[in-house]
Amino acid sequence: MSRSTIPLDDTERTRCEVWTRVMGYHRPIDSFNVGKQAEHAERCYFREPGAEREHRPRLSGRAQLQRAA
């Protein structure tokens, strides 16, 4: 399957709201003050070695007991 680029006029675009986790809860970046927005723009993103492995959702204690039975 090949990907093709579709040219869009600015009037056809939809605004994308970006959220991030701050102090244990999620907030939209647009609600940040100027200093916090600059701090967010300077963040470095990295991939931790071993992160490519398949992610399995954690089971609750009850689900683990049911699975073991």
Q: Which domain holds residue 37?
A: 14-44
Is the residue at 21 inside a domain? Answer: yes
7 occurs within a structural domain: no
Residue spans of beta strands (DSSP E) within the chain:
19-22, 25-28
- pLDDT value for 34: 93
Cα separation of 45 and 40, whole Å? 11
**Does a structural domain hold residue 22?**
yes
What predicted TM-score, i.e. pTM, was given to this entire model? 0.44
Q: What is the pLDDT of residues 12-51, one digit of tens each?
A: 888 889 898 877 889 898 888 999 889 888 888 878 787 6
Give me the number of domains the chain comprises: 1
pLDDT of residue 64: 55
In a domain? residue 52: no
- CB neighbourhood size of 23 (10 A): 5
* Confidence grade of residue 67 (pLDDT, cut at 50, 70, 90): low
